[in-house]
Amino acid sequence: MKMMPAKIKLTCFISIVFFSFVNYVSAQNAGPDTAIIAPGAKPVLVDSSFSFTEGPAVDKAGNIFFTDQPNDKIWEYDINGKLSVFMDKTGRSNGMYFDAKGNLISCADEHDQLWSIDPKGKVTVLVKDYHGHLLNGPNDLWIDAHGGIYITDPYFQRDYWTRKNPDPALNGEKVYYLPHNKKELILVDSTTKKPNGIVGTTDGKYLYVADMGPWKTYRYIINADGTLSDKQLFANEASDGMTIDERGNLYFTNNGVSVYNPQGKKIAHINIPEKWTANICFGGKDRKLLFITASKSIYTLQMQVKGVE
């Protein structure tokens, strides 16, 4: 067998290293969208007949429920793509989330309460005040694996309220926790200015809260008793609503959808042709359908990653 000259060997080795490097760089620069969004997928407008959409939440089957808050309705977008009204007179429901029993937990800010709505539409009021004082206006929530509920309580004046100012006894806009089967809220962060979007990790380690005041999002460690510690800046961007995927990526909503990896690096932006994108969740049978509420419209986007709600 004839031996290859050393010079040719070196040239081949350099070529292999060079092309390997090029392929590596190409893979790294292929674009974050290609890693999370289905190939060729774009946001699809489903309907634009609403006044202001909010609070999407997914049930165990993958059906998505969302609110049209000015019209005081909760709608269902089922796994077959059918739209129908689930409930009228919803307490002006805003943020929502399903508990383990299939009840829809709602931030019902008409009277600044937290509701549990069963599958037949029966309402149970879980929270109506904080130590006897009216809340600012429960806005968004997340439920942990123990059934405890975290809520954000910013003050946004509503035209259906008779009051014009928050209760001064609350002394600010804060984050609260309702332990499972308890009736009294626990204050878990008093330092926020205007907390809004909120979501936690499935392992129960971290909670993320967007603060519209400084326009930032923070990460907390969730302690065994549900309290929070080690508040850290996660991103220099706030979010009206949030969701999380199986890789731990966070999805923010404001001007479209921003996606951050667990290290706080922005890896994608999804443009939505509306003035404001309010909230977001994953749904569908396989949890790969990203559902986006945006002003008067709702959109869907096929993904390569699954949601974990």
Lowest mean pLDDT among 22-26, 189-193, 229-233, 282-286: 22-26
Establish if 3 belongs to a structural domain: no
CB 199 within 8 A of CB 210: no
Establish if 6 belongs to a structural domain: no
Query: Model's pTM, two decimal places?
Result: 0.89
Full DSSP string of 39-103: TT---EEEE---S-EEEEEE-TTS-EEEEEGGGTEEEEE-TTS-EEEEEE--SSEEEEEE-TTS-
Establish if 18 belongs to a structural domain: no
Here the CATH number for the domain that contains residue 80 is: 2.120.10.30
Indicate if the pLDDT at residue 1 is higher than 60: no
Establish if 29 belongs to a structural domain: no
Task: Look at phi and psi of residue 204 and say left if phi exceeds 0, alpha if psi is from -120 to 50, else beta.
Answer: left
Report which of 90, 166, 105, 158 is spatially closest to residue 130, judged by C-alpha positions: 166
> For the chain, what is the domain count?
1
Give the residue numbers spanning the domain of 266: 39-302
Share of the chain above pLDDT 70, in %: 89
Q: Which amino acid is at 260?
A: Y
Q: Model confidence over 155-204: pLDDT tens digits? A: 999 999 999 999 999 999 999 999 999 999 999 999 999 999 999 999 99
